[in-house]
Structure 1
Amino acid sequence: MSGRLLRLVCTAALAAGAVLAPVPATAVPEPDDRERTVAELLTDLQRLYREAEQATETYNATEEKLRKQQAEVRRLDTALARARLSLHDSRGAAGRLARQQYQNSTDISPYVRLLLARDPQRALDQGHVIGQLARERAETVGRLTGSERKADGLAREAREALDKRLGLAARQKKDRDGVREKLHAVEELLASLTPEQLDAVSELERTDIARAQQDLVASGALSSDEDEPTREADRALRYAVQQLGKPYKWGAEGPESYDCSGLTSEAWGHAGRVIPRTSQEQWARLPRIPLRDLRPGDLVIYFPDATHVALYLGEGKIVQAPRTGEDVKVSPLASNPILGAVRPDLRPEPHRPAERDHGAAE
């Protein structure tokens, strides 16, 4: 029983003149949010935000699969319509062939005509024509058979693709409900806090980030001499900077709002390079680089399960779409636990001489 509920029960019983039994030792009232420490509140909020972002990335992955599956269904529907049209034409040609065979069923065979012909050369020429017609008839039958097989195969593929699309649509709805449930938990916790608690939690978070940034710089993990971005990276970063101040919205890819991977994928898309939609796929499929090699435009991936991503701005700063309730902004690189970095426009390096390879290994 919660503390509030226990106090209500006690008050009602005393007012009625009832005698209460001793409260068991185990029935200790639970502390409400006002009695919890600021650090505990911040930990809970960060956990809920992270769970919401995990759910968002799951939704984004399903949305991307559904988008591709819808395109596949359209492609198969178009191919099936063409195959059915070809089948219709083949059946028409086969019907004409059957009628011709029926009409010529009482004719003397070409071989007998050749034996009885007065002009053998002309008969041979006719025989060549007859052979050509026979080959054309065989090809007509072959086209009919092939068209039937192709139409049947495409129809089967189209049914399977449609079933898969329906399954993905159902999963998308489930994922969407999961995101909303996580965000509702965040809203409930925030609504339970006083203005003083909210200020204290925000201040503690800023302090933690500043300390993490100092530790990152002191560790020497970052280079003091960053390379210049490529033309593509510069274009991606310029696009991201132009989105500063726009609100975070889960599942959004712009232009009015973004989630974290929506911002990074759109930025690099405007730079002319298509990259995966989700932060987890960006981490899994894009070339990884050491943090010391970071240059503007690279993507920084956060958390052990790669559920957050930002663009590196340079000099220890990132551009990110942080989380629900915040806007696209510039933040310290160490705003979240760093998993690693990837470079969407990494080019294969030329072959190095053996001596340099050995030196690099050392």
Structure 2
Amino acid sequence: MKRHRGASALTLLCAMAVLTAPGLAGTAYAAPAAPAPPAAPGTPVPGAKSLEQVHKEIEELYRQAGTATDAYNLAAGEAKAQSDKIVEIARQVVAGQERITTLKARAGAAARAQYRSGGLPPAAQLALSNSPGMFLNGADRLRQGEKATADNLAELARTQTDLQQYAADASARWQTLEANRVKQENAKNEIEKKIKAAEELESKLQAEEKARLIQLEQEAQYKAQTAWLSSGALKELQGTASEAGRQAVRFATAQIGKRYEWGHEGPDTFDCSGLTSQAWLAAGKPIPRTSQEQLRLLRKVAVKDMRPGDLIIYFDDASHVGMYIGDGAMVHAPRPGRTITIAGAGSMPIKAVVRPDA
């Protein structure tokens, strides 16, 4: 545990060094260091898959789990929205019922008043009145009372109609809520299945093979980042973070060392979009919960215009997201079994860059 905390503190210290450089930029990722020499491989088993094949399978399973996690998070958000709406409808129903009770009481009072006056029409009251002036005053009040009664009954009818509509809305919302719960359950099962399959593959590896597996991950990231830098992408990056972007970066890098856990958005564990959405929420800018919705709803910017705080969406299915922090680096929650860390912005296939505070 102490070693883990020490490693986290060291990583955080490195992150803060990046943050305190001018414009949130330094040189750490401009020329990435090559991975250490590979560990000696274990004794190969005849007919067994190569470690490289196992590595590709594990990475693909975790990426598929990331896609399913996005689907789960989206369904969870939709279910919460429907649940909140149902609660609001319930409040409207209670208010409507209370209003109907008040309106019925008024209607009853008007009926009793008419009964006490004998229910005589205005012409009959004029014939029986000893004073035309008194009658005219009474007739005016009567007309006002009749209008008030008519308005009261009309409002009563409208309120009853509203209650019927509330009931229909609540029924529809319940159906949508149930559908979203089914989507959540299916996505959850898919996530757990993919993670279990990946963990089973890893569990069959020897200690030196597991070390080599981590080395293969680092090599793949190094190769991709080097290719991205060689394309000249970093030479064009001149963007300076906005104040909100700086706040988002500070929040995200403060989480370095915390575990990835699918479906979580803090404070102790995060998935990839949970980290980015909470970072921007901390900066005062609520954004969509999932990487796919972040891609769909936030403004896209060119890679050459990328600035710290922008979100980098990865893979064709937008199943992963990280936050650019400057100097060709990003912070992200990688996958199950890993912790929040800094990596090269080009270490995975970039699909798009989006700006939450555009």
TM-score with structure 1 length normalisation?
Answer: 0.83
Q: Tell me, which stretches of 5 or more residues in structure 1 are unaligned? A: 1-30, 347-362
- Would you say 1:220 and 2:236 are equivalent positions? no
Is 230-239 or 107-116 further displaced after alignment? 107-116
> 2: distance between equivalents of 1:307 and 1:189?
22
- Aligned residue for 2:92? 79
- Aligned residue for 1:282? 294
Does the 8 A contact of 1:33 with 1:192 survive in 2?
Answer: no
> 2: distance between equivalents of 1:103 and 1:129?
15
| Residues 281 and 225 of structure 1: CA distance in aligned 2, closer, same or farther (over 3 Å) | closer
> 2: distance between equivalents of 1:192 and 1:40?
14
Does the 8 A contact of 2:237 with 2:305 survive in 1?
Answer: no
- Aligned residue for 2:48? 35
- Would you say 1:261 and 2:273 are equivalent positions? yes
Which protein is bigger by CA-based radius of gyration?
Answer: 1
- Aligned residue for 1:351? none
Q: Which residues in structure 2 correspond to 1:149-298 (within 5 Å)?
A: 149-298=161-310
- Aligned residue for 2:22? none
| Residues 34 and 331 of structure 1: CA distance in aligned 2, closer, same or farther (over 3 Å) | farther
- Once the 2 structures are TM-superposed, how far is the Cα of residue 32 of structure 1 from its aligned partner? 7.0
**1:281 aligned partner, one-letter code:** E
> 1: distance between equivalents of 2:152 and 2:267?
54
- Once the 2 structures are TM-superposed, how far is the Cα of residue 33 of structure 1 from its aligned partner? 8.9
- Once the 2 structures are TM-superposed, how far is the Cα of residue 119 of structure 1 from its aligned partner? 2.9
**1:147 aligned partner, one-letter code:** T
- Once the 2 structures are TM-superposed, how far is the Cα of residue 163 of structure 1 from its aligned partner? 2.6
> 1: distance between equivalents of 2:317 and 2:240?
30
**1:67 aligned partner, one-letter code:** K
SS of residue matched to 1:300 = strand
> 2: distance between equivalents of 1:264 and 1:107?
72
- Aligned residue for 1:15? none
- Once the 2 structures are TM-superposed, how far is the Cα of residue 98 of structure 1 from its aligned partner? 3.4
Q: Which residues in structure 2 correspond to 1:294-333 (within 5 Å)?
A: 294-333=306-345
**1:304 aligned partner, one-letter code:** D
Q: How many residues align?
A: 315
- Would you say 1:62 and 2:75 are equivalent positions? yes
Does the 8 A contact of 1:261 with 1:279 survive in 2?
Answer: yes
SS of residue matched to 2:235 = coil
Does the 8 A contact of 1:33 with 1:193 survive in 2?
Answer: no
> 2: distance between equivalents of 1:33 and 1:271?
55
- Would you say 1:49 and 2:57 are equivalent positions? no
- Once the 2 structures are TM-superposed, how far is the Cα of residue 291 of structure 1 from its aligned partner? 0.7
Flag the structure with more relative contact order, 1 or 2, with Cα contacts below 8 A and sequence separation at least 6: 2
Q: Percent identity?
A: 32
- Once the 2 structures are TM-superposed, how far is the Cα of residue 141 of structure 1 from its aligned partner? 1.2
> 1: distance between equivalents of 2:261 and 2:271?
5
> 2: distance between equivalents of 1:68 and 1:336?
33
Q: Tell me, which stretches of 5 or more residues in structure 2 are unaligned? A: 1-43
Q: Deviations over 1:341-361 (max 9, x none)?
A: 011111xxxxxxxxxxxxxxx
| Residues 100 and 33 of structure 1: CA distance in aligned 2, closer, same or farther (over 3 Å) | farther
Does the 8 A contact of 1:303 with 1:337 survive in 2?
Answer: yes
Does the 8 A contact of 1:34 with 1:193 survive in 2?
Answer: no
**1:58 aligned partner, one-letter code:** A
Is 36-45 or 260-269 further displaced after alignment? 36-45
> 2: distance between equivalents of 1:102 and 1:229?
76
> 2: distance between equivalents of 1:33 and 1:181?
28
> 1: distance between equivalents of 2:114 and 2:129?
23
Does the 8 A contact of 2:325 with 2:331 survive in 1?
Answer: yes
Find 1:90's aligned residue among 98, 103, 116.
Answer: 103
> 2: distance between equivalents of 1:255 and 1:33?
46
Does the 8 A contact of 1:59 with 1:176 survive in 2?
Answer: yes
- Aligned residue for 1:21? none
